Amino acid sequence: METYLHISALAFKPEIWLILGILLVMADIFLGYDFFVLPVGAAALIVSAVVYAQKNGWFGEETVLLNDWHEVGFFFAILSVISVILIRFVWQKNKKEQPDINDY
More confident site: 63 or 77: 77
pLDDT of residue 84: 86
If you average pLDDT over residues 75-91, what whole number do you get? 87
Tell me whether residue 21 is exposed, middle or buried, using C-beta atoms within 10 angstroms of its C-beta: 0 to 12, 13 to 18, 19 or more. Answer: buried
Higher pLDDT, 17 or 2: 17
The reply to whether 103 falls in a domain is no
Establish if 76 belongs to a structural domain: yes
Domain residue limits at 58: 2-97
Q: Write the Ramachandran bin of 44: left for phi over 0, alpha for psi from -120 to 50, otherwise beta.
A: alpha
pLDDT tens for 8-42 read 777 788 898 899 999 998 988 888 766 678 888 99
Give the CA-trace dihedral at 73, 68, 7, 87, to 10 degrees: 20
Q: Whole-angstrom Cα distance, residue 22 to residue 41?
A: 7
Residues 6+ apart with CB under 8 A from 74: none
How many distinct structural domains can be found in the chain? 1
Q: pTM, whole model, 2 decimals? A: 0.75
Query: Does residue 82 form part of some domain?
Result: yes
**In-domain check, residue 104:** no
Question: Is 62 within the bounds of a domain?
Answer: yes
